[in-house]
Amino acid sequence: MISKDEIRHLGWLSRLELTDSELDRYASQIDEIIRYFDKLDTISLTGSEPARSIKKVSELRNDNIHVFEGDPLEFSKNRKDGFVKGPRMV
């Protein structure tokens, strides 16, 4: 059973400030969804390999610099002296 506290903790890990009503709703809905996912647990960990990308590093393009035309931050609201302002770190 997934508790409200677990949802609150997952919300914090994901940087989501959830309201009390969201916590109640998500706890019951997500519990039901995760119980549905439990059918995956019947698959043996030995046996088949997990799916993964088959692309080789040698097939990737060279990591060359391309100059971007225009200003990608043109529409930022919080700018000062050519920088973007964010919240304080501490």
Partner 1 sequence: MPNHLYHLTADEVASGIKNRDFSAQEYISQILERIEKVDVKINAFIAVDKQGAVEKACSIDKRIRDGDRTGGLSGVAVGIKDNICTKDLKTTCASKMLEGFIPPYDATVIKKLKESDAIIVGKLNLDEFAMGSTTEFSRYGPTRNPWNINYVAGGSSGGSAASVAALECAISLGSDTGGSVRCPASFCSVVGLKPTYGCVSRSGLISYSNSLEQIGSVGKTVSDVVMIMNAIAGTDENDQTTKTTRPIATATTPNTVSLDRIPKYGLHQNKRNIRVGLVKELVEGADPAVSKCIYSAVDLFEGSDCNCEDTSMKSIQYALASYYTIAMAEASSNLARYDNIRYGFDSSPEGYEWNTYFAKVRNNFGEEAKRRIIIGSYVLSAGYYGKYYLKAQKAREMIKQEIKSLFEKYDVLIAPTMPILPFKLGEKINDPLKMYQIDIDTVVANLAGVPAISIPVGFSNCLPVGLQIMANEMEEQTLFDVASTFERIVDIHRSPEI
Give least dist CB 14 to partner 1, A: 5
- The beta strand positions in 26-84, using DSSP E, are 79-80, 83-84
Q: For partner 1, which is the closer residue by CB, 61 or 82?
A: 61
Which residues are at the interface with partner 1 (CB under 8 A)?
2, 6-7, 10-19, 22, 26, 29-30, 32-34, 36-37, 39-41, 43, 45, 47-53, 55, 59-61, 68, 70-78, 84-90
> Measured from the CB of residue 1, what is the shortest distance to partner 1 in angstroms?
13
d(CA 67, CA 51): 36
Using CA atoms, how far apart are residues 25 and 62, in angstroms rounded to an integer?
48
